[in-house]
Structure 1
Amino acid sequence: MSIKRSPQPPKVVTIVGGGASAHALIALLSGRDLQVQLLTRRPNDWLHNVELQLQSVEQEILRTFSGHLTRVSSHPIEVIPNSDIVVLCMPVHAYRYALHRIAKYLPHDRLVCIGTLYGQGGFNWMVKEISKKFTLNHLVTFAVGLLPWICRVREYGRVGVIYGGCKSVNIAAVAPHHFFGFLNDFFFSAICKDWFETGTFHQAENFLSLTLSVDNQIIHPARCFGLYTRDGGKWSKLEEVPYFYRDFDDFSAHILSELDADYSMIRDGVKKHFPDIYFSYMLDYLSLERLSYQSTNSNIRDSFTTSKTLGAIKPPIRQLDTGEWEIDTSHRFFTDDIDYGLCIAQWIAYQIGYSVPTIDMVVNWARSLCVERYTKTGEKFIKEESPSDPFPSGIPPVYGMETINDIMG
């Protein structure tokens, strides 16, 4: 069914999830006369008035935004039915579960835009899945390639922080394609350019361009693999744990570069397989960084070690009964960036007959550390569904797509 353009601007935006980006959205959207609602597992931890601080990289407060939540709930029925725009703000591996949880409460008789600010992992496949299952014929799907800002939570449910403003250029995919202008006028501009005088949005021709443009899905696994290879992924004392970005070493940078090369090969293969489709925003790591930040970085490692906003971040770790610290394999660096990142790229590579040795090496390493979540069949680790993890993987076959031609719809 074709979807006609909505004649009315949106009035109600519902944010699903309570991450750092949720704190930013509440304040920015409230300031544009939109009613903002929140669906969260922790409604009692949220104030109705949420503050957002714009800080310099030296953490000087440059400006403060005030946001207001008209409704906060842990029950989808209380916030989803009256929504005009629904935005997921959570780890990538939680998208499918959240979509299935809210789907039956989405309106069937009018247009609703549903999207995310981080478009890794085939978000359009997930929305198409619920659209078919719940007969939702009026959904507009959107995804932004990368978060438009570097944001953090200062006080959960109370104060969020944006560092330095908005990225210079942001890429978004929208389906149906002609709704980009509608979303740009009433949503994309409201979270960037209206406030920061920068942060334009450009339209990607398709969602696959976002899925195969690389950022976190190669940064995080490469660094974790580097730390594990160098230190065994374990440290006796907390103060021995190196910084994730500030101490980014040559070996981690080498693995990242090799993963990027594997992705570049996959992107070239996709372009050859679909010669009539444009992929102008399907980019390698440095090209994406230069576009987003208008930077001149020519070295991947330098872009991390010199960053003031990333410098204080430690790796995801957990303490053992022995008192030692080890890499936390349940962290989103594994569940997002491998299961909904590298594994998708690996599947596409196999479909077009390409060898991706570094992706294979990192995926197999990660799965060998997470044997409680995988079943080994021959030389392969297969992630199984479980009551606590009903959507464990994001590869196309879980959506019923068996060939590379299927992934373009």
Structure 2
Amino acid sequence: MGSIAIIGAGNVGQAIAGHMSFKGHDVRIFDRWGRDLEPIKANDGIDMTGDVAGHGTPSVLTTDLGQAVSGAEVVIVAAPAFAHAYLSQELASVLAPDQLVLFQPGVLGSGVELARMFALADRRPCLIAETPTSLYTCRLRRPGHVYIGAIKHAVPLAAVPSADTPRALDILRTYFGDRYVPGEDTLTVGLNNCNPIYHVPPAVLNFKTVEDADRHPLHSLVTPRIAEVIDALDRERLALADALGVKAASFWDFLNTAYEVTEGSFVERIVQGYGRQGFPEPDSVKHRYFTEDIPFGLVTWSSLAAQIGLSLPLTDSFVALGTALCGQDFVAGGRTARTLGLLGSDVDGIRAAFVDGAV
């Protein structure tokens, strides 16, 4: 059995921690504030229903990051994207070179950001990897009780540098079998994250329903014209990927791969893919569709595009609209070429950071 530390006690963190401890691994959970740990303590662990049914009991619940990761073979960051910068700075000061950190899921640049923090701390980096989406489709039914709708059969993973990907996959096989599969590199993995494509347009263009907290299923808010906007936004992402030498799948190809949706209009395909889940739309401006998908999705795409002289007008429009609607400067607080140490970089410089780990 192995030893694994989970950073974050939300949906994904509790699903992984519950499942891994249920399987007999030594599991520690870190939560910065400790609020999400109290119900787990009261429940003497985590109850799971759905694709995994059982009860898992982590060995350590702590607000001390050093205690959580000390001696752990694998450290999984399952925290929101807006916490990655802080966590990367802290992790770079306590991790050893023989440990593996997995951003699960990451957003474009998570691995590069951690590698840069190691460099700034003048420390030898650990093994760093990331995925574009979570292996677990899950929701907390209530604290300490998580519903695991599915464990995906194949999620791409890439390391920084990409030459380390086979080593990361070999370590993770002990815990997750062969469900993680090789990704090309973290630039490819990051740019294949379609979350902002589907989440942001319906949320922004139906903003009254956000203010009214109607909680309609997001797919029900996608009209034929909004679906065209989703497609146009996706084409800007694909243009950025092409300019950076990355082969990225379209959002519609993603629906095919993830949910075997191949036919129908754009709206019909979205309903087929997401209708079975019925996840609700945002009910406040603090929802992750705004606080993650804009500053750590759209802003990052726009910032990298600006370094190579590529214009993303629709992407920039949604950033501006989101900033005005939410009353939060998503550019100032987001992940940009500056925060990644890539300000002024050309295509080769950006690729070197993501593919080769040159920071």
Name the structure 2 match of 1:310. Answer: 277
Name the structure 1 match of 2:350. Answer: 407
Tell me: CA distance 1:30–1:186, structure 2 relative to 1, closer, same or farther (3 Å): farther
Deviates more, 1:345-354 or 1:64-73: 345-354
Letter in 2 for 1:296: T
The counterpart of 2:39, out of the listed 42, 45, 62, is 45
Identity rate, percent: 17
Name the structure 2 match of 1:93. Answer: 82
The counterpart of 1:398, out of the listed 339, 350, 354, is 339
1:310 Cα deviation from its structure 2 partner: 2.6
The counterpart of 1:83, out of the listed 53, 69, 72, is 72
Letter in 1 for 2:341: G
Q: Equivalents in 1 of 2:22, 2:171: separation in Å? A: 12
The counterpart of 2:190, out of the listed 211, 216, 220, is 211
Query: Does the 8 Å contact 1:16/1:89 carry over to 2?
Result: yes
Query: Does the 8 Å contact 1:119/1:210 carry over to 2?
Result: no
1:132 Cα deviation from its structure 2 partner: 1.1
1:168 aligned onto 2:153: yes
Equivalences for 1:26-45 in 2 at 5 Å?
26-40=17-31, 41-42=33-34, 43-45=37-39
Letter in 2 for 1:268: D
Tell me: CA distance 1:186–1:66, structure 2 relative to 1, closer, same or farther (3 Å): farther
Tell me: CA distance 1:382–1:141, structure 2 relative to 1, closer, same or farther (3 Å): closer
Query: Does the 8 Å contact 1:124/1:141 carry over to 2?
Result: yes
**Structure number with higher helix proportion:** 2
Give 3-state SS (helix, strand or coil) of 2:89's partner: helix
1:334 Cα deviation from its structure 2 partner: 1.7
Structure 2: runs of 5 or more not aligned: 354-359
Q: Equivalents in 2 of 1:38, 1:148: separation in Å? A: 18
Q: Equivalents in 2 of 1:353, 1:123: separation in Å? A: 23
Give 3-state SS (helix, strand or coil) of 2:58's partner: strand
Q: Equivalents in 1 of 2:264, 2:232: separation in Å? A: 16
Query: Does the 8 Å contact 1:52/1:65 carry over to 2?
Result: yes
1:192 Cα deviation from its structure 2 partner: 6.0
Deviates more, 1:79-88 or 1:45-54: 45-54
Query: Does the 8 Å contact 1:344/1:395 carry over to 2?
Result: yes
Tell me: CA distance 1:170–1:189, structure 2 relative to 1, closer, same or farther (3 Å): farther
Equivalences for 1:10-409 in 2 at 5 Å?
11-40=2-31, 41-42=33-34, 43-47=37-41, 48-55=44-51, 63-107=52-96, 110-156=97-143, 158-163=144-149, 165-188=150-173, 190-191=175-176, 200-228=179-207, 231=208, 234-235=211-212, 242-271=216-245, 279-280=246-247, 282-297=248-263, 299-306=265-272, 307-311=274-278, 313-317=279-283, 328-371=284-327, 373-374=328-329, 383=332, 392-402=333-343, 403-404=345-346, 405-408=348-351, 409=353
Superposition RMSD on alpha carbons, in Å? 2.5
User: Which TM-score applies when normalising by structure 2?
Assistant: 0.86
Tell me: CA distance 1:91–1:266, structure 2 relative to 1, closer, same or farther (3 Å): same
Q: Equivalents in 2 of 1:182, 1:382: separation in Å? A: 35
1:65 Cα deviation from its structure 2 partner: 3.2
Q: Equivalents in 1 of 2:287, 2:206: separation in Å? A: 15
Q: Equivalents in 1 of 2:22, 2:235: separation in Å? A: 42
1:146 Cα deviation from its structure 2 partner: 1.2
Q: Equivalents in 1 of 2:216, 2:229: separation in Å? A: 18
Query: Does the 8 Å contact 2:166/2:182 carry over to 1?
Result: no
Letter in 2 for 1:54: G
Tell me: CA distance 1:304–1:97, structure 2 relative to 1, closer, same or farther (3 Å): same
Tell me: CA distance 1:192–1:166, structure 2 relative to 1, closer, same or farther (3 Å): farther
1:191 Cα deviation from its structure 2 partner: 3.2
Aligned residue pairs total 344
Give 3-state SS (helix, strand or coil) of 1:396's partner: coil
Letter in 1 for 2:226: S
Q: Equivalents in 1 of 2:173, 2:180: separation in Å? A: 7
1:20 Cα deviation from its structure 2 partner: 0.9
Select the structure of larger CA radius of gyration.
Answer: 1
Query: Does the 8 Å contact 1:166/1:192 carry over to 2?
Result: no
Deviations 1:61-84 (A, max 9, x none): xx5133220111011132222222
1:284 Cα deviation from its structure 2 partner: 1.8
Deviations 1:103-160 (A, max 9, x none): 32223xx41101111122311121112211233314111111211232111121x221
Structure 1: runs of 5 or more not aligned: 1-9, 56-62, 194-199, 272-278, 318-327, 375-380, 384-391
Give 3-state SS (helix, strand or coil) of 2:242's partner: helix
Tell me: CA distance 1:299–1:267, structure 2 relative to 1, closer, same or farther (3 Å): farther
Query: Does the 8 Å contact 1:12/1:36 carry over to 2?
Result: yes
